[in-house]
Amino acid sequence: MEKKQKAKHGVQNLVIGLVFIFLYIPIFVVILFSFNTSEMNIVFEGFTLQWYGSFFKNRTLMESLQNTLIIAAVSTIVSVVIGTLGAVGMSRYEFKGRKLVDMLLYVPIVIPEIVLGVAMLSIFSILNMPMGLLTMTLAHITFCIPFVVISVRASLAGMDKSLEEASMDLGASHVKTFLTVTLPLIMPGVISGATLSLSLSIDDVIISFFVSGPGSTTLPLKILEMVKHGVSPEVNALSTIITLIIIVAISLNTQSQIRKLRRNEEGKTA
Amino acid sequence: MNMRIKRQKKKMGSFWAKYAMISPISLWMYLLVAIPFLYIIAISFMNKGTYGGVTVGFTIHNYLDILNPLYITTFAKSIGISLAVTVICLLIAYPFAYFVAQKKVVQKKVLMAMVMIPFCVSMIIRIFSWTNILRAEGVINHVLMAVGLIKEPLKLVYNQTGAMIGLVYMLLPFMILPLYSSIEKLDPMLLEAASDLGARPLKSFLQITLPLTKAGIFAGSVMVFIPSMGLYFITDLMGGSKTLVIGNLIKNQFITARNWPLGAAMSVILMLITFGMLKGYQAAGGSMDDLSGI
């Protein structure tokens, strides 16, 4: 019986392990090649750190990194403000066209990205807007808002409405109630919406491809362009840095969640 | 008297609060989602301009053009690829999610966080890295030849195999997440009861586990199938010149051929396929909120 149990665990761990190898192999290879002396991403010839230094001297790469960060920061802030207000407003008030707005919110989530990309391209060009930072930011805000609304809604669902009513009854204004009562209560949803927007914006390829212009190239677009002639190892170095930052952030977040879980379990047994 | 003024003030405040909250989002959705989509539908019935763009008029010849055997076969092939990718993702993700759900609470958290990490590394970088791994002189062929399993390098990339590996890789997490959350909700007592009553593992899997995790299977399949038709850059980078998805056709019409009306008509067909799938998904009891991946 015990043997059978062990064999079962072995199979389980094997399946889990194989899937993780599949998910992580390309990332591992990127990290490996970022330390490679050869410029060709084919064989590992020797260890070097030179690409980490030369990335910061590569003007076009740095420029695209700057564009990426500007667009991501602005579209995250705008979509969080509009999305949070919208989610609260739509849960609280009945108004004409609420169903339609609700339906429109799902369009960017479910429709293949390319359709939103060509739709944006067409509308910007009929308005004679030159493709650039502005069109990129407008497009990014559009696909970020729905994700903010959905994560804020999840927080609103668990919120005690009577707290807001109490605040109003005690004479606080709408703005004050929103800022001091509602917002702190839905903060987890706002934060997860912001994180989601940031990562969606930083890594967007398809929609950006259609609405970018000269001078508004983001890092993913720059890399896509480079891939055709061979990616320089500097890109591997940058990806390694970004990957490490993300791994640290996610593991810190997971650790705090685990600590919470442990505390809860201890609370139950005590 | 005082009370009445106060109440009046509150009411005015409420009016402003309401419109301050719902106007920005409504305007944004109307101006940047509804109108662009309506405009794409309109373009699909217009004529192509001489230097790209469109000329006003009404025609259905763009839709007739799609009936060209060349486009029809590409549409059919693309849907075939998406179906295959969805099935492969399901076959990989189901056992994975099922086994992770058997682990202890803390282990589960860590393993699911590990599924999310690759998500955050640039898609393009990961896809490019796969081409390095899979090509003739790449790691996999290197190892297989060194071991002596193969004499000639396998053709793993720049063909349909490569495109499918890339699509499965990119979309697998979207299958894992909804499957995991529906399997995790499964009550282990049900399976215990079934086995106590003499049901074999296969039978209790088919009659209890599978039907109860239906929601996850449907949500995951929709989240893999729909985007896979549009991910043109994966077929561009890993599929060679012959493997195309619908997204490649649309991109080519808008960027290379500059025939916007035809590209718009193809986009409308892609939207119709998407809405058809979603209607089916909702009819099967699926919830739209499960599709956001949050």
**Out of A162-176, B70-84, B273-287, least confident range:** A162-176
> Does residue A34 sit within a domain?
no
Confidence band (pLDDT; 50, 70, 90) for B9?
A: low
* Cβ–Cβ contact B13 with A under 8 A: yes
The answer, for A90 touching chain B at a CB cutoff of 8 Å, is yes
Lowest mean pLDDT among A208-217, B84-93, B139-148: B139-148
The token pair at B109 is 């958290």
Taking CA–CA distances from B128, the nearest residue in chain A reads A227
Q: What is the pLDDT of residue B202?
A: 85
Q: Which residues of B touch A261 (CB under 8 A)?
A: 105-106, 109
Mean pLDDT of chain B, nearest integer: 89
Q: What is the pLDDT of residues B208-261, one digit of tens each?
A: 889 999 999 999 999 999 999 999 999 999 998 889 999 999 999 999 988 999
**What's the pLDDT band for A268 if we cut at 50, 70, 90?**
low
In a domain, A134, yes or no: yes
The CATH number given to whatever domain includes residue A134 is 1.10.3720.10
- Domain membership of residue A15 (yes or no) is no
Is B292 in contact with A95 (Cβ distance < 8 A)?
no
Say if residue A220's pLDDT is above 60: yes
Pick from B1-5, B74-78, B110-114, B152-156: least confident: B1-5
**DSSP structure class, residue A42:** S
Residue linked to tokens 């561009």: B236
Non-local (6+) Cβ contacts of B229 within 8 A are: A112, B78, B79, B82, B245, B246, B247, B270, B273
Would you say residue A45 has pLDDT above 80? no
The percentage of chain B sitting over the pLDDT mark of 70, rounded to a whole number, equals 95
| Angle in degrees, 0-180, between the axes of helices B35-43 and B260-283, rounded to the nearest 10 | 120
Determine the pLDDT at residue A168. Answer: 85
Predicted local confidence at residue A267, as pLDDT: 67
- What is the average pLDDT across A245-259? 77
Higher pLDDT pick, B222 / A5: B222
Q: pLDDT digit string (tens) for A129-158?
A: 999 999 999 999 999 999 999 999 989 988
Ramachandran bin of A215, using left for φ above 0, alpha for ψ from -120 to 50, beta for the remaining angles: left
Find the residue in A nearest to B32 (Cα): A142
Residue A11, pLDDT > 80, answer yes
| CB-based contact B179:B94 (threshold 8 Å) | yes
Calpha distance A207→A151 (Å, rounded): 22
- Residue A209 included in any domain: yes
Residue from B5, B6, B31, B128 to probe the interface with A (highest A Cβ count within 10 Å): B128
CATH number for the domain formed by residue range(s) B67-291: 1.10.3720.10
The whole-number pLDDT of residue B83 equals 97
Mean pLDDT of B177-200: 86
Q: Cβ contacts of residue A20 below 8 Å, gap of 6+? A: B114
Contact B110 A254 (CB under 8 A): yes
Q: Is the pLDDT of residue B190 over 90?
A: no
- The DSSP code sequence of B52-116 is BSEE-----HHHHHHTSHHHHHHHHHHHHHHHHHHHHHHHHHHHHHHHHHTS-HHHHHHHHHHHH
Percent of chain A scored above 70 by pLDDT? Answer: 95
Six-digit token string for B173: 């997490």
Q: Do B288 and A110 touch (CB under 8 A)?
A: yes
Q: Is B28 on the interface with A (CB under 8 A)?
A: yes
Q: Is residue A262 part of a domain?
A: no
Distance from CA of A230 to the nearest CA of B (A): 9
Per the prediction, chain A carries an average pLDDT of 88
Q: Which domain holds residue A105?
A: 59-231
Q: Please state, in angstroms and rounded to a whole number, the distance separating the CA atoms of residues B225 and B223.
A: 6
d(CA B210, CA A77): 42
Query: From CA A205, how far away is CA A221, in angstroms rounded?
Result: 6
pLDDT, tens digit, for every residue of A79-128? 999 999 999 999 988 899 999 999 999 999 999 999 999 999 999 999 99
**Cβ atoms of residues A149 and A107 within 8 Å:** no
Helix (H, G, I), strand (E, B) or coil at A175: helix
Q: What pLDDT is stored for residue A40 in this prediction?
A: 67
Determine the distance from the C-alpha atom of residue A41 to the mean position of all C-alpha atoms in its chain, rounded to a whole number. 28
pLDDT of res. B77: 95
In angstroms, the CA B22 to CA A100 distance is 13
Q: Which amino acid is at B3?
A: M
What residues pair up with A36 in beta bridges, in sequence order?
A47
| pLDDT range class, residue B93, cuts 50, 70, 90 | very high
B122/A250 CB distance under 8 A: no
What DSSP designation does A47 have? B
- Does position A181 have pLDDT exceeding 70, yes or no? yes
- Interchain CB distance below 8 Å, B102 and A110: no
Please indicate, yes or no, if residue A124 is contained in any of the structural domains: yes
Predicted pLDDT of residue A122? 94
Mean pLDDT of B198-212: 86
Place of tokens 């977040």: A253
Contacts of B139 in chain A (CB under 8 A): 29
Could you tell me the two tokens for A150?
A: 């959905």
The pLDDT of residue A50 is 84
- C-alpha–C-alpha distance, residues A51 and B85, integer Å: 36
Residues of A in contact with B117 (CB under 8 A): 243, 246-247, 250
Model confidence at B12, pLDDT cuts 50, 70, 90, reads low
pLDDT at A236: 83
Burial of B161 (0-12, 13-18, 19+ CB in 10 A): middle
Who among B10, B18, B109 is closest to A89 (CB)? Answer: B18
A113 burial (CB, 10 Å; 0-12 / 13-18 / 19+) is buried
C-alpha distance from B69 to closest chain A C-alpha (Å): 23
**Percent of chain B with pLDDT strictly greater than 90:** 60
Least confidently predicted of A148-152, A230-234, B156-160: A230-234
Check whether A229 has a pLDDT greater than 90.
Answer: no
Q: Which residue has the higher pLDDT, A207 or A254?
A: A207
Q: Which of A26-35, B26-35, B88-97 has the lowest mean pLDDT?
A: A26-35
What confidence category does residue B288 fall into, taking pLDDT thresholds of 50, 70 and 90?
confident
HSE (side-chain half, CA atoms, 13 Å) at B159: 8
| pLDDT at residue number A15 | 95
The count of domains in chain A is 1
pLDDT at B41: 96
Q: Give me the pLDDT at residue B118, please.
A: 85
Inter-chain CB proximity A118 and B267 less than 8 Å: yes
**Given a cut of 70, is residue B193 above it in pLDDT?**
yes
Q: Which of A21, A34, A115 has the most B C-beta neighbours within 10 Å, making it the best mutation to test the interface with B?
A: A115
Token code pair at residue B150 = 């193969």
**Inter-chain CB proximity B43 and A138 less than 8 Å:** no
B18 touches chain A (CB under 8 A): yes
CB distance A27–B126 less than 8 Å?
Answer: yes
Which residues of chain B does A146 touch, with a Cβ-Cβ cutoff of 8 Å?
A: 292
Query: Does the pLDDT at position B294 exceed 60?
Result: no
Residues 108-137, chain A, touching B (beta carbon < 8 A): 108-116, 118-123, 125-126
**A108, A210, A223 ranked by CB distance to B124: nearest:** A223
Identify which of A15, A115, A126 has the shortest CB distance to residue B96: A15
Local structure of residue A132 (DSSP, 8 states):
S
